[in-house]
Amino acid sequence: MLSIRHHFGLRGDPFPQDVPVKDLFPLPGLAPLEKRIIFAIEQKAISVITGDVGSGKSTSLRYIASKCHSSEYELISIVGSSFSAMELYRQILLNLGIQYTSYQIAPMISKIREVMLEIASRKVVPILIIDEAHLLKRSVFIQLHTLTQFEFDSRPIMPMILCGQDLLLDHLMSISVRPLASRILGRNHLESIRKEVMEEYLSHHIKLAGCLKKLFSDEAVFAIHQGSGGLLRKANSLAKMAMLACVMDKEQTVAAEHVRVAATEIF
């Protein structure tokens, strides 16, 4: 990105992955998503976030996590995979700083529940966050609800946030997963953004990088929106590669032709 920064006079990279939470673009759906998830957390229930690849799911999780102060919440963050229930429980224990050598599920569940009760006794809410949850085996979803049951299911302690692609909904609508799905209070789907929002999004990131002038022509914004389908990750890639094409042409404004060149460089 060094050549792009020098050419356009930028202070930093315009579309980094590690944007500080305070600098995240306020997507139209982010505020209502936050309210629904915080409500579900307060109710000790389960909330679900779904969306296409690159729609901003993980970024939304990072935003929500930033709202959960460590004095009130303990976040247990797991990235989903095709592991077994036992491997998931082991991941949870490792996240809690516990090395557990048993290969039996019952003692692992018992240990997790013991730790959850200890956390709750400190007036802290443990929150289990599973990103890429659509990768979990259906058998794992069947087991997950057992972690939420305390005192004959009369005392909810650990809310969950499940985040993933649309396949996650297929898992949750399965009859065998109904005990877990019945605890869901909020379903959130991240939509692709409109063209007008895309223009604001690109301008926001260019300003964060230290440039106040308009770098993308209207035609380029339209081409990025069409080429990305309104999905943020692909829009970022198209914008960066289009800026590089603009540099190579020794131009100062990114044109639609530069976006077309960029589209041949990415998947």
**What confidence tens digit (pLDDT) does each residue in 214-224 have?**
999 999 999 99
Residues 231 and 178 placed together within one structural domain of the fold: no
Which CATH number does the domain housing residue 147 bear? 3.40.50.300
Which CATH number does the domain housing residue 242 bear? 1.10.8
pTM value?
A: 0.89
The mean pLDDT value of the chain amounts to 91
Residues 105 and 123 placed together within one structural domain of the fold: yes
Residues 53 and 151 placed together within one structural domain of the fold: yes
In a domain? residue 46: yes
Question: What whole-number distance in Å separates Cα of residue 186 and Cα of residue 161?
Answer: 10
Residues 57 and 150 placed together within one structural domain of the fold: yes
Give me the mean pLDDT over the 116-139 stretch. Answer: 93
In a domain? residue 44: yes
**b/e code 159-168 from CB counts within 10 Å (16+ = b):** bbbbbbbeeb
Give the tens place of pLDDT for each residue, 144-175: 887 777 665 567 889 999 999 999 999 999 99
Note down the domain range covering 133.
30-190
Lowest-pLDDT range of 46-50, 72-76, 144-148: 144-148
In a domain? residue 21: no
Tell me, what's the pLDDT at 267?
82
Q: What is the CA radius of gyration of the chain?
A: 22
Tell me, what's the pLDDT at 242?
96
Residues 114 and 43 placed together within one structural domain of the fold: yes
Tell me, what's the pLDDT at 99?
81
Quickly state the pLDDT bin for 100 (edges 50, 70, 90): confident
How many domains does the chain fold into?
A: 2
Residues 138 and 235 placed together within one structural domain of the fold: no
> Does residue 249 carry a pLDDT above 90?
yes
% of the chain at pLDDT higher than 90: 66
Residues 143 and 89 placed together within one structural domain of the fold: yes
**Domain closes at, from 149, 166, 190:** 190
59 exposure class (CB count in 10 Å sphere: 0-12, 13-18, 19+):
buried
Question: What whole-number distance in Å separates Cα of residue 211 and Cα of residue 96?
Answer: 43
Question: What whole-number distance in Å separates Cα of residue 115 and Cα of residue 122?
Answer: 11
Asked if residues 179 and 146 have their Cβ atoms less than 8 Å apart, the reply is: no
Residues 247 and 148 placed together within one structural domain of the fold: no
Give the tens place of pLDDT for each residue, 169-216: 999 999 999 988 999 998 999 999 999 999 999 999 999 999 888 999
Look at 228 and 150; give whichever has higher pLDDT. Answer: 228
Give me the mean pLDDT over the 223-240 stretch. Answer: 96
Residues 43 and 121 placed together within one structural domain of the fold: yes
Give the tens place of pLDDT for each residue, 9-32: 898 888 988 899 999 999 988 999
| C-beta neighbour count of 186 within 10 angstroms | 20
> Does residue 129 carry a pLDDT above 70?
yes
103: amino acid identity, one letter: Y
- Tokens found for residue 210: 């230290």
Tell me, what's the pLDDT at 78?
93
% of the chain at pLDDT higher than 70: 97
In a domain? residue 25: no
Residues 120 and 209 placed together within one structural domain of the fold: no
In a domain? residue 107: yes
Lowest-pLDDT range of 105-114, 117-126, 129-138: 105-114
How many residues appear in the chain?
267
In a domain? residue 20: no
**Domain closes at, from 163, 190, 217:** 190
In a domain? residue 129: yes
Asked if residues 246 and 237 have their Cβ atoms less than 8 Å apart, the reply is: no
9 exposure class (CB count in 10 Å sphere: 0-12, 13-18, 19+):
exposed
**Domain closes at, from 190, 219, 239:** 190
Residues 65 and 130 placed together within one structural domain of the fold: yes
Residues 198 and 186 placed together within one structural domain of the fold: no
Residues 6+ apart with CB under 8 A from 257: 245
